[in-house]
Structure 1
Amino acid sequence: MQQVAAETAEAEELSLAERAYRAIRDRLVMLEIRPGAPINEEQLGQSLGVGRTPVREALKRLQYERLITTYPRRGTFATDVNITDLAHISEVRKELEPLACAQAARRATAADRAALTALRRRLEAADSRSSDAAELMHLDLQVHRTIYGATHNPYLEDTLVRYDNLATRIWCLFIDRLSDMAGHVEEHRPLIEAIVAGDPDRAAQLARSHVEGFEQAIHGAI
């Protein structure tokens, strides 16, 4: 009985840590926690309604993912957004995004295709609200993460989520200078259609163009 109770408590703790991780991660990605800002474990725990242990577990993962940095005797801070990282991030994404989209086109289940189709409809509905940058950014993240999940390759998915998070931080930093953010997000519609149709070659081609266009847009905004 005690063992069952302990296992249940451990599972609950893990779920709290995962919830804390996702919430803090997205605050960092969307720059709701500004680059260079100090990370206060107690405040984060209170805002999320969890204790310090789940927050600490989340922060360990986020440090590995380069979203936070810990300095001895100084504390923990949100990682600065360095535009010089864009070339390195894009170098990885140009290779792995086409691979992921091609694999998603090959491996997507009926549930994956339904989820992607629902996101495509949301993209269509978002056209009239293109001025809401935060909504478009969240939608962009959802599309990418759903595609990565549809690869059914957890290693590829984890890697690309990390790099997409870093790229999104750069995008958020320059969002006020980007003239056609809605157009960039709109590019996901034909990409989703190619994946749902099971066309890996077209999906890979569109994915590469999307990543290259993102890099060019950021350079144009600097």
Structure 2
Amino acid sequence: MASPNLKSDLSIRKSLTTTAYEQLEELIVTTELEPGAILSEATLVEQLGIGRTPIREALQKLEREGLIRIMPRKGIEVTDLNPAKQLLMLELRRDLEKLLAKSGALRATEEERSAFIVIADAMAETAAAGNDIAFLRQDYALNQLMAQAAHNEYASRAIGLIHGLARRFWFVHFETTANIPLCSSLHANLAREVAQGNPETAATAVDALMDYLEEFTRATLRAPDRPT
């Protein structure tokens, strides 16, 4: 059995790893770290003010999610955007999100249901304000809660491989083809349906959101001046 001090040290490191991951994920999703950029572990340690081990663990997770590529002795490359692959990703994402939504509607704790309502209300405020960064952060919180409330670790791991890539794609293209009020409203509706505990209406809310995201993706493919 681990000693209390060891457990405390592991908890602190896990917290730092989570902090490093969340900060790096947002920097990549918002393209502060641009696609194709070559990074170094030492630079990221200095930039975030977090130790090498948590940074390394966060980078390993980001690589599993497809947002970076670690090249031994060369550096860390932020992966390029590939709009055509987004439609393939959505085929898988729809089924995974419906599984998470239906499972969450059935299995979420009262605390988790309350958290869904808080996020839904925040999304409604974002819809009125059209705040893109606020939307991204609420979207991240909703993604994490959906994965948690389903109480299915395998589905949660699978959806984790998709969310970061999807969020970055949305951020890069939202100014030309996205409708933040509509997108926020669809997310808020999904959160409320899961909170209310009806798996079928939660699945219907997922379909509405995925239909919108599919049309958004197709619109970016049609746009003549989309970013590459």
User: How does the TM-score come out when normalised to structure 1?
Assistant: 0.89
Shift of 1:80: 0.7
Trace 1:193-212 onto structure 2 (pairs within 5 A).
193-212=192-211
1:168 is aligned to: 167
Change (3 A) 1:178 1:15: same
Structure 1 counterpart of 2:179, which letter? D
Shift of 1:207: 0.3
Alpha-carbon distance between aligned partners in 1 of 2:178 and 2:7, rounded to the nearest angstrom:
52
Structure 1 counterpart of 2:30, which letter? M
Trace 1:133-172 onto structure 2 (pairs within 5 A).
133-172=132-171
Alpha-carbon distance between aligned partners in 1 of 2:8 and 2:114, rounded to the nearest angstrom:
33
Contact 2:36 2:80 in 1 (8 A): yes
Deviates more, 1:208-217 or 1:7-16: 7-16
Alpha-carbon distance between aligned partners in 2 of 1:147 and 1:124, rounded to the nearest angstrom:
18
Q: How many pairs are equivalent?
A: 219
Shift of 1:185: 1.7
Alpha-carbon distance between aligned partners in 2 of 1:18 and 1:162, rounded to the nearest angstrom:
16
Shift of 1:117: 0.8
Shift of 1:14: 3.5
2:185 is aligned to: 186
Trace 1:72-91 onto structure 2 (pairs within 5 A).
74-91=74-91
Shift of 1:71: 3.5
What 5-or-longer segments of structure 2 have no aligned partner?
222-228
1:123 is aligned to: 123
Contact 1:37 1:78 in 2 (8 A): yes
Contact 1:136 1:182 in 2 (8 A): no
Deviates more, 1:132-141 or 1:71-80: 71-80
User: How does the TM-score come out when normalised to structure 2?
Assistant: 0.87
2:103 is aligned to: 103
Change (3 A) 1:7 1:199: closer
Deviates more, 1:38-47 or 1:109-118: 38-47
Contact 1:106 1:199 in 2 (8 A): yes
Change (3 A) 1:47 1:74: closer
Contact 1:106 1:200 in 2 (8 A): yes
Contact 1:94 1:212 in 2 (8 A): no
Structure 1 counterpart of 2:101, which letter? C
SS at match of 2:24: helix
Structure 2 counterpart of 1:109, which letter? T
Runs of 4+ in 1 over 6 A off after TM superposition: none
Contact 2:127 2:184 in 1 (8 A): no
What 5-or-longer segments of structure 1 have no aligned partner?
none
Change (3 A) 1:179 1:151: closer
2:226 is aligned to: none
Deviations along 1:165-191, one digit per CA (max 9) or x if unpaired, are: 111111112112124122112112222
SS at match of 2:82: coil
What RMSD in Å do the two structures reach over aligned CA positions?
Answer: 1.9
Change (3 A) 1:4 1:113: closer
2:47 is aligned to: 47
Alpha-carbon distance between aligned partners in 1 of 2:55 and 2:139, rounded to the nearest angstrom:
26
Trace 1:59-78 onto structure 2 (pairs within 5 A).
59-71=59-71, 74-78=74-78
